[in-house]
Amino acid sequence: MSFFQVGWSPSMTNNSEIFALKYRPQSFKDLIGHEEITTSIYNSIKINKIANAFLFTGIRGIGKTTFARIVAKALNCEKGLENLCENNFCSNCEAIINSNHIDVLEIDAASRTGVDDVRELIEFSRYGPSIANYKIFIIDEVHMLSKQAFNALLKTLEEPPKYLKFIFATTEIQKIPITVVSRCQRFDLSRIETETLFKFLKSIGIKENKEIEDNALKLIVKISEGSVRDALSLLDRALISNSKNILTLNEAQKIFGYTDKSSYIDLVNILLKGDENSVITHYRSIYTLGVQPINFLNEFLEILYYIKNISNITLHGSIFSLNDDDYKKILKLSKKISPSDILLYWQFTLRAIKEIGLVSNQNLSIEMFLIQLMYLIKKPAKYEEKIDEKNNLNNSSESFSQKSYPVSQLKNINQIEQRKDKNIKKEENQIKNLDELLNLCIQKKEITLKYEIENNLNLVSFSQNKIEISFNEKLSNRFVKDLSEKLYDWTGNRWIILFSKQKGEKSKKEKIKNFKEQQIKKLKNSSDYKNLLESIPDIELIDIENKIND
């Protein structure tokens, strides 16, 4: 039996004007995507091999709660599974849809996380269903339950009464204890494929008697990232905001703050020409359309990806990202720019995404980022001669080419800086043992690092650019990271910090303490001390230095 179709049945016609609710699936036939999961659940109910607990996981708006309610209806529908209600709902299905069924309890774990809430639930489960076939507990965002609450559920999950079923939904499966997951029948809901979601939205447009351009729907599909609820909400917003008879791509872009690919492709072309004024003017025209800086960077990254991989991309896929004109433009552009320059742009764009939050006016940050990109390929002749002179490259008859210059330039600058660092840190490169490392910490005024090394570090071995230590729970979580970074800054070399299975030496502080205790013991056994004790019975030998420190 097949239940899958892209279209709408009468069950999706409640009075709500909000698309996310109005077109919410009410039966297995209404679901789109997840065919294997739907078939598995349907067959298990049909042959009466129903799991004690179902666990649905996936991104937001993918159908987890919808699945839970449909399963609850399939178990309790008065008409049976084969004739599951689609429009004229029975009393059970109607109550489940409205979330007020006496035997189907929906709980939001985000607001009821404690063990007392779960104990109350378990106590309630002792009584059989009042009017339905099964008593069902639907727990949304189940990962929000506390550890104690999960533990309280374990026994009931494993051996519940025959009339009791649990249905869990979560976006963060990794936060649920494995002991709970293992007691559930788990279903991972994937993102809805773009082609399926496109047809899904197109059907709604027809049902609502709205004229919508295919490219506008494709934009909504892209923004929704495979989430059905997001796609429905975006479509709802677009149709409400649009005052014209037809929703065009241009209108959708204005509503959502997106611009077409052609603008980004043209921007790359302008960057290659090195016209700074045109670059800034073109970017500002994109920004004026409402494109947020972070969205701009992500779209720019996507264009770079297409330029690099255009030979492996076809127009007949289902990604809905390139039209015919864009494809031809990118194909032509890919022949103008070398792969090494594209990768250089890619790295700078990733860095810009990471750093954009550091600037209060992100728009200005983007403009400076674009100027940086332009100068990566633009060849500044005077600076090139200066680089050549510093690196003794004037003997070469071959000059830098426009294409290869950026990589060479960055490489040469890096080499110069490395030489400077090595000359400055020549003495610091020679850290031979832990004592020298401690002295360097004192010189650099790294008091926290010095404290950790002296008090909590148990050394196994110390060799060139490699330190092995045994595990000590008193060590700071950041110790290895901080020590590695400081050693690299001080020496110019990468150091490996390893935790060894071997038992390390005692810490520096323990060694000093033991040494002083041995010295005091030795003095107490000396004849001089015993003679002094006879003369002054109250005398006590103490560590004056430690006493002062205390």
Residue 326 and residue 368 in one domain: yes
471 and 499 within one domain: yes
First to last CA, the chain: 82
Confirm whether 24 is domain-assigned.
no
DSSP codes joined into one string, 293-317: HHHHHHHHHHHHHHHHHGGG--TTS
Q: Are 387 and 444 in the same domain?
A: no
Supply the pLDDT for residue 374.
83
Question: How many Cα neighbours within 13 Å face the side chain of 127?
Answer: 10
The answer to whether position 202 is within a domain reads no
Instruction: Express each pLDDT in 352-384 by its tens digit.
Output: 998 888 888 898 899 999 988 887 765 443 434
Greatest mean pLDDT among 11-20, 183-192, 221-230, 464-473: 183-192
Q: Tokens 């209806």 label which residue?
A: 73
Mean pLDDT, range 133-154, rounded to an integer? 91
Residues β-bridged to residue 282: none
Q: Are strands 458-463 and 466-470 parallel, antiparallel or unpaired?
A: antiparallel
| 60 plus 116 within the same structural domain | yes
Report the chain's mean pLDDT, rounded to a whole number: 80
The DSSP letter of residue 444 is T
Structure confidence at residue 390 (pLDDT): 42
Kindly state whether residues 373 and 385 are assigned to the same domain. Answer: no
Distances (CA, A) of 376 to 29, 273, 405, 411: 56, 12, 8, 12
Which helix or strand (DSSP H or E) is residue 365 part of? helix 362-377
Is residue 443 domain-shared with residue 499, that is, in the same domain?
yes
Mean pLDDT, rounded, for 312-319: 58
Residue 14 reports pLDDT greater than 80 = no
In a shared domain, residues 183 and 41: yes
What is the band of 314 on the pLDDT scale with cuts at 50, 70, 90? low
pLDDT of residue 405: 38
- 345 shares its domain with 392: no
CB 139 within 8 A of CB 166: yes
Residue of 273, 34, 53 whose CA lies nearest to 185:
53
Note whether 366 and 274 are same-domain residues. Answer: yes
Q: How far is CA 100 from CA 15, 94, 105, 122, 297, in A?
A: 18, 9, 8, 19, 46
Residue 15 lies in a domain: no
Q: What's residue 395's pLDDT?
A: 42
Mean pLDDT in residue range 52-68: 92
Q: Is the pLDDT score of 518 beyond 50?
A: yes
Q: Is the pLDDT of residue 422 over 70?
A: no
- Supply the DSSP symbol for 474: T
Residue 130 in any domain: the answer is yes
* Same domain, yes or no: 472 and 534: no
Structural domain of 420:
381-424
For residue 479, name the pLDDT band (cuts at 50, 70, 90).
Answer: confident
Question: What percent of the chain has a predicted confidence (pLDDT) above 90?
Answer: 22
Q: Which CATH number characterizes residue 78's domain? A: 3.40.50.300
Quick check: 230 and 224 in contact, CB under 8 A? yes
Q: pLDDT tens for residues 379-406?
A: 443 434 444 444 444 443 333 333 333 4
Confidence of residue 278 (pLDDT cuts 50, 70, 90): very high
| Span 52-56, average pLDDT | 94
Which of 180-194, 318-332, 462-476 bottoms out in mean pLDDT, i.e. has the lowest?
318-332
pTM (2 d.p.): 0.57
Measured CA to CA, the distance from residue 510 to residue 456 in angstroms comes to 9
Range with the lowest mean pLDDT among 407-416, 461-470, 501-510? 407-416
Model pLDDT, residue 388: 45
Domain CATH for 462: 3.30.300
Does 272 share its domain with 332?
yes
Instruction: Count structural domains, the chain.
Output: 5
User: In this structure, what is the dihedral angle of CA atoms 239, 245, 251, 255, given to the nearest 10 degrees?
Assistant: -30
How do residues 186-225 score in pLDDT, each as one tens digit? 999 988 888 889 999 999 999 988 899 988 898 888 888 7
